[in-house]
Structure 1
């Protein structure tokens, strides 16, 4: 849409984007609701919806029941056949999903890996899965692109994975390699940043303007920030790496990783698994094992990690003054163990004013939060310029988030 702003064509495209984004983010809406939400008149909404429907991006249905006199206002919904592929490589598994423009998780496959996957393995496995789905479960669907949530530093300028330490990736062009292997436009970002995006749009931080999000996964702890309603990436795309901070540890006996240990060295999914006696587990399995175990060693490890997590969160609250802190992955399990106790421990270490209205919440999207965020960046260009992008063929050249 570059250069079209302020022109009749530019206004039309902006309005198409606005309507499609509303039904994508809010769910099905009547034409009357769209008129009210946008401030546009009924005839303009009708023309915009008609154009989006002709492009295969929305569908309309007439409500079965209505209580007002006159013709009922049709419901407009994002087309179920438009999907994005979401990818999340981790140290112990690769998860790939297909997520609809209506935000349904259409397909989801998690493959546990015996060893840490290299970039080539991730590309091959993803490409094979996408090719299989497109001839089977996704036959008849329009796949608009791929979004990747990577547990590492992703450069905003070109999508290069600068460093994913737990995967042992350095300067890997994963975005471009996936695009070349699949023929689908690909976007990529840090996994915690995408978790923050998903929870801000649809989950525990929906409607909240100042949010700190921490994601606890197999590859450590990452953070995402929403400040004044905007996702913060930093100058290079590396903002939010709270897991790399070095918190003060009040009790010497709590330290496990030496004097220079980072948050993710001390607050660790691997340490929880070791205490339980598991090599690997998905999030629901780990949560159930921690919740149901009476083992004193597990309880002690949970309490140790909560003490260090409280200090970490207090530092973030003092610096950023969020109204909500969202915890995802195994960090949500640590919160659920005693939410009020963790909040009290955080408040005890912050400036009193910063903690006055502070709320700690578990991620509402569960184990799909990173995939939902990855799908969101895959849909970004379509949502920005619906008809132009929908009418264009898939490009093998990737694009950044």
Structure 2
């Protein structure tokens, strides 16, 4: 293969990056649309698309000719055969997916766990599954990287998991362990921080510049922030830990965890318990809670909604988002009465801060954390497509 990239040619690299990001995030686009969007001339677009195609990062498709006059412009799409492996280790399972650069979820698996897996075990499980997929469904794919969404504090500079208390991990070099086990570049991030990026780019927060995202999972409640269109990570990358805040509980009879934090009171484990389930994925738990006629289920859901509404009102007062997105069991709590939750939040927030507020369930549903992990895995390639020969 001839490499047309000239070392130090920053303008060309940025233009290749821009085009690849456009078709990755926006889906298939015609050359004419790429020309109009970027302001580059047609010959430059043709040259850049040709290079991306030579690198097998994009494919060109025949355009639909319906309703068009003159010669139609070819359509450029991100390649489905360029793949990231995304993973989300939790207390009860390891979720793994293979996600194409075109954003298709090509494969997905859930490995149930009956114990808290160590970082070494997670690395081994990932390596084994990647080996299996490479010999079968991904035989013709190019796996470029691995991304992990971890429920814990992840140091931004090196992917060290400082603490994932529900997993029992402390100062775990997860990135290095997975990279060694798989032989692939690896990125590790907090699950909710990656979830907010996924929802901001492709889901319920698409086009929203000021967004608060709360994720409810088996390990508790995490959060992510988009402020003025930018993800907020904080000094060390630890921003958004809403679940560790001390909740304001107006009714003393609502308290269950003494001096516990928000995720001790608003809890997936408590919902599973009243539903009579030992474990369940998100759709199963949602179906059981929404169809149950048990008074204990109704009362527990209402109790958790009251506490959640206060926590959301505090976040709205501090950050003044236009949209709050709820994922995981928090979306289940919001359930069919989303407007009722919104009104409860507005009743406790400063009126000006909440007057235009919307609360939305995560649009990507079960895929949100895996899509976010894949975005982290694809980041280096999207910044510089010439890194993939």
Q: Distance in 1 between matches of 2:120 and 2:14?
A: 39
Residue 63 of structure 1 and its aligned partner are, at CA, apart by 1.5
Q: Tell me the equivalent position of 2:164.
A: 164
Are 2:140 and 1:140 aligned?
A: yes
TM-score normalized by the length of structure 1:
0.94
> Is the Cα contact below 8 Å between 1:84 and 1:379 reproduced in 2?
yes
Instruction: Report how far residue 66 of structure 1 moved.
Output: 3.9
Deviation digits for residues 195-223 of structure 1 (CA, Å, limit 9, x no counterpart): 10000000000000000000000000000
Structure 1 distance, partners of 2:120, 2:133, is 20
Deviations 1:48-74 (A, max 9, x none): 000000000000012242433322100
Which structure is richer in relative contact order (CA contacts within 8 A, separation 6 or more)?
1
Q: Which residue of 2 aligns with 1:303?
A: 302
How far apart in 2 are the matches of 1:265 and 1:8?
Answer: 52
Q: How does 1:51-66 map to 2 (within 5 A)?
A: 51-66=51-66
- Within 5 Å, which residues of 2 pair with 1:371-386? 371-386=370-385
What is residue 89 of structure 2 aligned with on the other side?
89
Q: Secondary structure at the match of 1:348?
A: helix
Structure-2 separation of matches of 1:201 and 1:68 = 30
For residues 205-220 of structure 1, the aligned pairs below 5 Å read: 205-220=205-220
For 1:185-200, list aligned pairs within 5 A.
185-200=185-200
Which residue number in structure 2 is paired with residue 3 of structure 1?
Answer: none
Distance in 1 between residues matched to 2:331 and 2:261, nearest whole Å: 19
Name the CA distance, whole Å, in 1 between partners of 2:161 and 2:8.
40
Distance 2:299 2:94 in 1: 31
Paired residue secondary structure (2:223): strand
Q: Do structure 1's residue 249 and structure 2's residue 249 form an aligned pair? A: yes
**Contact (CA 8 Å) 1:210, 1:228: kept in 2 or not?**
yes
Output the CA distance in 2 between the equivalents of 1:107 and 1:229: 31
| Count of aligned pairs | 383
Asked if structure 2 preserves the Cα contact closer than 8 Å seen for 1:66 and 1:72, the reply is no
* 2:77 partner SS: strand
- The SS at the match of 1:59 is strand
How far off is 1:338 after superposition?
1.3
Q: Secondary structure at the match of 2:133?
A: helix
Measured in 1, the distance between the counterparts of 2:169 and 2:311 equals 26
Matches within 5 A, 1:334-353: 334-353=333-352
Give the superposition deviation at 1:162: 0.1
Deviation at 1:341, TM superposition (A): 0.9
Asked whether 1:390 is paired with 2:388, we answer yes
Distance 1:59 1:377 in 2: 22
**Which consecutive residues of structure 1, in runs of 5 or more, have no partner in the other structure?**
1-6, 392-401
Match of 2:99 in 1: 99
Alpha-carbon separation, structure 2, partners of 1:228 and 1:314: 20
* 1:109 has 2:106 as partner: no
Q: What residue in structure 1 maps to residue 20 of structure 2? A: 20
| Counterpart position of 2:368 | 369
Secondary structure of the structure 1 residue equivalent to 2:225:
strand
1:221 corresponds to 2:191: no
1:279 paired with 2:278, answer yes
**Distance in 2 (alpha carbons) for counterparts of 1:301 and 1:158:** 40
The answer to whether the Cα contact below 8 Å between 1:314 and 1:346 also exists between their aligned partners in 2 is: yes
- CA-to-aligned-CA distance 1:292-344 (integer Å, 9 cap, x gap): 11111000000000000000000000000000000000000111141111101
Looking at structure 1, the residues matched to 279 and 123 of structure 2 have their Cα atoms a distance apart, in angstroms, of: 23
Structure-1 separation of matches of 2:53 and 2:169? 43
User: In structure 2, the residue corresponding to 1:35 is in which secondary structure?
Assistant: helix
1:73 maps to 73
How far apart, CA to CA, are the structure 2 residues paired with 1:338 and 1:240?
25
Q: Answer whether contact 1:79 1:102 (CA < 8 A) is retained.
A: yes
Contact 1:194 1:373 in 2 (8 A): yes
How many Å separate the matches in 2 of 1:360 and 1:257? 27
SS at structure 2 position matched to 1:147: strand
Q: Secondary structure at the match of 2:70?
A: coil
- The 2-side partners of 1:68 and 1:124 are apart by 53
Deviates more, 1:112-121 or 1:87-96: 112-121
SS across alignment from 2:280? coil
**1:398 corresponding residue in structure 2:** none
> Which 10-residue stretch deviates more, 62-71 or 228-237?
62-71
Give 1:116 deviation, angstroms.
1.5
Q: How many angstroms apart in 1 are the aligned matches of 2:216 and 2:317? A: 21
Structure 2 residue ranges without an equivalent (≥5): 1-6
Residue 8 of structure 1: CA displacement? 7.9
How far apart, in 2, do the equivalents of 1:369 and 1:158 lie?
A: 23
